[in-house]
Amino acid sequence: MESKLVFQDVVGLPTALLAVFAVDLAGPNDADALPVLLTTSDAVTDAAATFLTGGEFKAKLGETMLLHAPAGLKAERLLLVGLGKAKSLSVNEVRKGAGTAVRACKPRGIRELAIAFPEDHALSDEHLETLPCSLTARALVEGAELAELDWDTYKSDRKDQSITALTLVGKDGDRSTKAEIQEGFDEGIILADAQNFARHLVNEPGNVLTPTVLGARAKAMCESAGLACDVYGMDKLKELGMGSFAAVAQGSAEPPALIVMRYEPAGITDGPIIGLVGKGITFDTGGISIKPAENMDKMKYDMAGSAAMIGAMKAIAAIKPRVRVISVVCSAENMPSGTAFKPGDVVTAMSGKTIEIINTDAEGRLVLADGLHYARTLGCTHLVDAATLTGACVVALGYLNAGLFTNDEQAWAAFMKGVEKSGEGFWRLPCTDDYKPGIKSEIADMVNSGSRAGGAISAAMLLKEFVGDTPWIHLDIAGCAWNEELKPWLPKGPTGVAVRSITEWVRTYEA
Ligand code: BES
Ligand code: MN
Ligand code: ZN
């Protein structure tokens, strides 16, 4: 999809479909209040009038109404897109609204659309604050670009429903801030491209995307983005003493990949080095502690944490913040076999700490233990990891918020500042030292799997053993990496969660 930004009156814009937003004003004191458009042009208001006044269109989030040949407009169709209650309107609803507009076009064979930027004059003072122009433009582009993908590339009778062109229409003369809208638009393209790149990786089946292929895809991305990238195999794991990562990899016929990507802006030789560490299990059978057959197919997405890091590196390479970033991705396939690691084994991690294996299905923390320690040895001063780590996190938080664990209040505050921009959901859970008995082993420094109670926390506690005093954030994205239910603005499938938030977090450390 080619996206462009223009500043002109929407009335005179020739397009196959013009999407305009509306909000629901009905509240407890005024149940009959009619929805209002966020576009003020008379021709648009007139064309939409019957639907707005007739009660047929309520402007609920994700609701749409399509009108053909709207009088007075150059557009062939007018699409009303609901953003939900005016009271709760934020850029997050705008992101979803833009996605809804794009997805409304696809099944109708409409290849090209325009979306009207919410107009100043249509917004209350409060909304002028909750919808800052730069972030609103960014969210519009992100929502549209994320909605554009469909996961039918492996269907032989695939019907091409791709949208070829999107025009975002800012009103000429509105807010004297064209430059801000342009900036948000440009950033939105970069972030959405990076997130979609991550989603493509996550969508790939395990037989296509092996650790070796993940390494090759990361390398190809780095080459075109101007990043340094090294991909290592089992020999390097052995040489570095990564006994924990190697144990997970040893059961598979597919060799592991240790992927190291570097962003080193010219002239920055001191200050922080941000480390992005990703879990890249390209398929998780559970190993000898094998998983039940039901839903095991979903475990191709067990590399979503690494995809988030590779995507974030792509965004960082384009945004070019003045801070150094190193990403370490630990990729392997977790398989049962004659060479697989077993419950009862004791492995020695790169840091020298020993881990007693209780359950080979708790493999993510084992690869990350070595990845986090390795990132520290490469000089990282701040760490973030992302992983589809535990089913327990899905039980605790569901699908709307990923688990966030940290050992550092400042890093956490910086991360949450980024989240305000990204609009993603993260909810903090504890990992204080009083949880440490939960990973106590009789014979080694720790076990890899504690009791079922607080399972997401035990996993975080194991990771914490390998970060020392380095400020660290752990994101358990098991519940958020895959969209389980079709939304008006998003297909089922990979979400690319955390790409935007991690990129924003990195930017908070700019020199
Ligand atoms: N990859 C899984 C976690 C997972 C579960 C991700 C559901 C996405 C959806 C992880 O490797 C795993 O198997 N964790 C175990 C840990 C247990 C054995 C301590 C789990 O959550 O059951
Ligand atoms: Mn597992
Ligand atoms: Zn796993």
Which atom of ligand 1 approaches the CA of 458 most closely? 19
Token pair belonging to 4: 């462009």
Residue 164 CB-density burial (10 A; 0-12 exposed, 13-18 middle, 19+ buried)? exposed
The pick from 297, 357, 367, 389 for probing ligand 1's pocket by mutation, whose C-beta has the most ligand atoms within 8 angstroms, reads 389
Token pair belonging to 59: 């402007």
How does strand 18-24 pair with strand 2-7?
A: unpaired
Ligand 1, pocket residues at CB < 6 Å: 284, 302, 359, 361-364, 388-392, 394, 449, 455, 478
Catalytic residue, from 365, 376, 464, 507: name it. 365
Cα(73) to centroid(ligand 3), Å: 53
- Tokens 């229409």 belong to 169
The pLDDT score that the predictor gives to residue 175 is 61
Q: What residue's CA is closest to ligand 1, atom 5? A: 391
The pLDDT score that the predictor gives to residue 28 is 83
Reduce the secondary structure of 206-243 to three states and give it as a string.
CCCCCHHHHHHHHHHHHHHHCCEEEEECHHHHHHHCCH
Cα(425) to centroid(ligand 2), Å: 23
The pLDDT score that the predictor gives to residue 55 is 87
| Whole-prediction pTM | 0.97
pLDDT tens track for 433-483: 999 999 999 999 999 998 889 999 999 999 999 999 999 999 999 999 999
Cβ pair 258, 236 in contact under 8 A: yes
E-strand spans in 288-353?
Answer: 324-334, 346-348
**Residue 314 falls in the annotated catalytic set:** no
- Residues in the chain, pLDDT under 70: 172-176
The pLDDT score that the predictor gives to residue 308 is 99
Q: What residue's CA is closest to ligand 1, atom 3? A: 390
Cα separation, 334 vs 264, in Å, equals 33
Listed in sequence order, the residues at least 6 apart from 86 whose beta carbon sits closer than 8 Å to its beta carbon are: 23, 24, 25, 36, 124, 127
Cα(462) to centroid(ligand 3), Å: 15
pLDDT tens track for 248-276: 999 999 999 999 999 999 999 999 999 99
Spell 181-210 as b/e; 16+ CB within 10 A means b: bbebbbbbbbbbbbbbbbbbbbbbebeebb
Q: What residue's CA is closest to ligand 1, atom 16? A: 362
**Residue 155 falls in the annotated catalytic set:** no
Cα(192) to centroid(ligand 2), Å: 29
The pLDDT score that the predictor gives to residue 174 is 62
Measured from the Cβ of residue 326, the count of other Cβ atoms closer than 10 Å reads 22
Cα separation, 163 vs 207, in Å, equals 29
Spell 131-143 as b/e; 16+ CB within 10 A means b: bbbbbbbbbbbbb
Cα separation, 111 vs 16, in Å, equals 8
Which atom of ligand 1 approaches the CA of 363 most closely? 11
Cα separation, 44 vs 98, in Å, equals 18
